[in-house]
Chain A
Amino acid sequence: MSAGPAVADAPLPPGEFEARLRRIGDERYHHRHPFNLRMHEGALTREEIRTWVANRYYYQTRIPRKDSLILAKAQDPEFRRAWISRIHDHDGRQPGEGGLELWLALADAVGLDRARVESLADVLPGVRRACDAYVELVSQSDLLTAVASSLTELFAGDIMAVRIAAFEKHYPWVRTEGLRYFRTRTVQAPADAAFGLAFVVSEARTRADQQRCEAALVRKCEILWSLLDAVEAAGVSPRLSPHAQPRLGDADPMVVLPERAVKLTGSAAEILSLCDGVRSALEIAGILRERHPGAPGAWDDAHDFLAAMRRQGVLLPPA
């Protein structure tokens, strides 16, 4: 921007600030994520849908805790009266009601075992980190930026409508009562977002405040994006790069690559030996968990190791 410092420091007019927030969503919200695009095109397998439902449940469980943190930051009773409705929406007024319950109904509808989903045993480590990062972000923020980070709701109404249509069209095997969560959110999300947006626009009094809000929304979009990255990676069936020379049987196993070698410690060699381009990351981590019941970290470690090997070019997606 070419404006001088005095002008640059002045807050943007409300309309322009709101436009900026909306542009962040246009560019960075997870409606653009390849996994969501594939979901809405009807390209996901049943297994991928189930993985997403089981993992996204962890996100749902974090939401009322996040909203409780926001409540605790608020001085204004009117704000608290409004915001507490989110917790009621999510948890219900009594058992068997609310958004969390509706998500479990979705889990039933896609053929998952409800108790298994509630146990969180199949939550991917990348999903856990993303969701925990969101709670942490809100916990560390002041009220204004905490609310700003919730503004992804601005974009949620649209994605829910697309999703309902996509499920009805492409995934008829998902029983229709499972879609009630999405239908409910098409109403709740815009109302919640309108309240949050009005609060952020009026309370961000300086350009610096506005910039903190924009940054919080960007961060939140990144968190949602990385959640789907993790879900997507779990469905990929990794294979060894043709450039890699595995030495899995050595006393000190390693993989040799052009001008470097990666040492394989712990169960790394065992994990790599399962990477045949057919088994998915999910299946491989499941095998490790079964084989090593005494190692509570086996599931997480397998997923994290596979992700690290993909970053380093040792593993590739299927040809």
Chain B
Amino acid sequence: MDAPRPYNLVAELTYRCPLQCVYCSNPVGWRDVPDALGADLWTQAFHEAAALGVVHVGLTGGEPTLHPQLGEIVAGAAAAGLYVHLVTAGTTLARGGLAALRARGLRSVQVSIQDAQPEASDRIAGARCFDKKLAFAEAVRAEGLPLTLNVVLHRHNLGRVGEIVALARRLGALRLELANAQYDGWAFLNRAALLPTREQIDAAAEVVARAREEAREPEILWVLPDYHRDRPKPCMGGWARRTLVLAPDGRALPCQAAGELPGLEFWRFPEHSLAACWRDAPGMNAFRGEGWMREPCRSCPERARDFGGCRCQAHRLTGDAGATDPACALAPQHGVVLAARAEAERAAPDFVYRGSPRPR
């Protein structure tokens, strides 16, 4: 199969992280994944990615600043001509460290907070960190770097979207990513504790619409809550279509979670060239394009817009990664999403934190 051109590389430098967010997108088995790539190999990967057409790299994790060679990695990405973007929790780096990264070619920073209120934010992160994060966000602006503020939304913070927008404005964020939680990995373990009600989402969407009218900045991205939308999300803009994920152990993946899908063979860099990992690994081609689709996707006019939704979610909810994403009201197994929605109307149980002993 002809592979499309990837534009974006998600470089997961390490899965280690001081936070324990209850919706972390890292594999539930993250402790077993070694940090296999040093700065030299990352730099080689960046050059190979650039040759494939990649123009932008997001250095992420885990907490990417815990990689001992982050400075060299930033320099390597810049030398490969990539736009170097850092995705961080903002608790590990001081302004001096940030300035050094900027001098080596860092161009923009995304900082995550968990809420607009310190206690609520710390409760989701499983660590006291809110004030540090805000100080770091201010350092990003002070360094003249464009700031994206990222907040994952769920039933405990959707009511404070207005405060979150105000905070983003106060911090001078260029973009605000309001990402309704995607219920895979840790977020799936905590789904009953996180999934909001329809009313919460509608109210927050209204706040977002008003905020967009008030001012052009920050640009607000509202990542759709697929459990409540009757249509699947266009996950990753299509499987292995625009974005290449390189995990800490060198595995090349189509998304942050796909490595946990059973029966799919992905290849490891540098055992294989990055081009081979992208073009030829059987796992990459398993759901590329539309050939894998079944009905109702196969003949659906919306398939070019949502790419059949999320394979990880299909597997999570039906046991079959090739099934129609149950978030879609047209999916035969949409009932499981309806049941989860009904569950959201009831009281929520406690969280399972990502640092906790391996969940059952």
**Which residues of A come within 8 Å of B, CB atoms?**
242-243, 245, 247, 254, 256-261, 311, 313
Contact = CB atoms under 8 A, between A and B. Distances in A.
B110 A259 contact: yes
Contacts of A254: 55
3 smallest beta-carbon distances between A and B, as pairs: A258-B108, A256-B83, A243-B146
A261 B146 CA distance: 15
B47 interface: no
A261 B55 contact: yes
Interface string B1-30: 000000100000000000000000000000
A259 B148 contact: yes
Contact of A258 (B55, B144, B174, B216): B174
Contacts of B174: 243, 258, 313
A243 B108 contact: yes
Contact of A247 (B55, B107, B110, B219): B55
A117 to B, nearest CB: 34
A259 B56 contact: yes
A260 B175 CA distance: 11
A243 B173 CA distance: 13
Contacts, number: 39
A261 B55 CA distance: 8
Contact of B175 (A245, A247, A258, A311): A258
A126 B219 CA distance: 24
A245 B146 CA distance: 13
Nearest to A247: B55
A259 B108 contact: yes
Nearest to B217: A313
Q: Which of B83, B110, B148, B219 has the most CB of A within 10 A?
A: B83
Given A256-B83, A261-B55, 18 more contacts: A242-B144, A243-B107, A243-B146, A243-B174, A245-B55, A245-B83, A257-B83, A258-B83, A258-B85, A258-B107, A258-B108, A258-B148, A259-B58, A259-B108, A259-B175, A260-B56, A261-B7, A311-B216
Contact of B56 (A242, A261, A311): A261
Contacts of B146: 243, 258
B338 to A, nearest CB: 33
A257 B108 CA distance: 9
Contacts of A245: 55, 83, 107
Q: Which of A243, A254, A258 has the most CB of B within 10 A?
A: A258
A260 B148 CA distance: 12
10 contacts: A243-B108, A256-B83, A257-B83, A258-B83, A258-B107, A258-B146, A258-B148, A259-B108, A259-B148, A313-B219
A92 to B, nearest CB: 45
